[in-house]
Structure 1
Amino acid sequence: MTMIQALRSAMDVMLERDDSVVVYGQDVGYFGGVFRCTEGLQARYGRTRVFDAPISESGIVGTAVGMAAYGLRPVVEVQFADYVYPALDQIMSEVARLRYRSAGDFSAALTIRMPCGGGIYGGQTHSQSPEALFVHTCGLRTVMPSNPYDAKGLLIASIESNDPVIFLEPKRLYNGPFDGHHDRPLVPWSRHALGEVPEGHYRVPLESASIVRAGGAVTVLAYGTMVFVAEAAVQETGIDAEIIDLRSLWPLDLETIVASVEKTGRCLIVHEATRTSGFGAELAALVQEHCFWHLEAPIERVAGWDTPYPHAQEWSYFPGPQRVGEALKKVMEG
Structure 2
Amino acid sequence: MTDDTPTKTMNMIQAINSALDICMERDKDIVVLGEDVGYFGGVFKATEHLQKKHGKTRVFDTPITECGIIGVAVGMCTYGLRPVPEIQFADYIYPALDQLVSEAARLRYRSAGEYTAPMTVRSPFGGGIFGGQTHSQSPEAIFTHVAGLKTVIPSNPYDAKGLLIAAIEDNDPVIFFEPKRIYNGPFDGHYGKPVTPWAKHPSSAVPEGYYRIPLGKAATVREGNDVTILCYGTMVHVTAGVVAESGIDAEIIDLRTLVPLDIEAIEASVKKTGRCVIVHEATRTSGFGAELSALVQERCFHSLEAPIERVTGWDTPYPHSLEWAYFPGPVRLGQALKRVMES
1:121 correspondence with 2:130: yes
Correspondence for 2:210: 201
1:192 to partner: Cα distance: 5.1
- Does the 8 Å CA contact 1:236/1:325 hold for their aligned counterparts? no
Q: After superposition, where does 1:159-174 map in structure 2 within 5 Å?
A: 159-174=168-183
1:275 to partner: Cα distance: 0.3
Cα distance in 2 between the residues matched to 1:197 and 1:173:
16
Correspondence for 1:19: 28
1:64 correspondence with 2:73: yes
Cα distance in 1 between the residues matched to 2:253 and 2:57:
40
Cα distance in 2 between the residues matched to 1:78 and 1:256:
31
Aligned-CA RMSD value:
1.2
Q: 2:278 aligns with which of 253, 259, 269?
A: 269
SS in 2 for 1:268: strand
Cα distance in 1 between the residues matched to 2:186 and 2:146:
33
- Does the 8 Å CA contact 2:311/2:332 hold for their aligned counterparts? yes
**How many residues matched?**
332
- Does the 8 Å CA contact 2:186/2:237 hold for their aligned counterparts? no
Correspondence for 2:311: 302
Identity %: 70
Pick closer, same or farther for the CA change 1:257–1:191 going to 2, 3 Å. Answer: closer
Correspondence for 2:323: 314
SS in 2 for 1:197: strand
SS in 1 for 2:205: coil
1:184 correspondence with 2:182: no
Cα distance in 2 between the residues matched to 1:212 and 1:329:
21
1:52 correspondence with 2:44: no
- Does the 8 Å CA contact 1:177/1:193 hold for their aligned counterparts? no
Correspondence for 1:111: 120
The amino acid across from 1:309 in the alignment is Y
The amino acid across from 1:59 in the alignment is G
Q: 2:246 aligns with which of 237, 241, 244?
A: 237
The amino acid across from 2:55 in the alignment is G
Correspondence for 1:283: 292
Give the alignment's TM-score, normalised by structure 2.
0.95
- Does the 8 Å CA contact 1:175/1:192 hold for their aligned counterparts? no
What do the CA deviations read for 1:160-218 (whole angstroms, capped 9, x no partner)? 000100000000110123233x3213269x78564100011000010100000000000
SS in 2 for 1:33: coil
Correspondence for 2:154: 145
Correspondence for 2:7: none
The amino acid across from 2:301 in the alignment is F
Give the alignment's TM-score, normalised by structure 1.
0.98
- Does the 8 Å CA contact 1:146/1:227 hold for their aligned counterparts? yes
Gaps of 5+ in 1: none
Cα distance in 2 between the residues matched to 1:239 and 1:329:
9
The amino acid across from 1:12 in the alignment is D
What do the CA deviations read for 1:145-166 (whole angstroms, capped 9, x no partner)? 0000000000000000001000
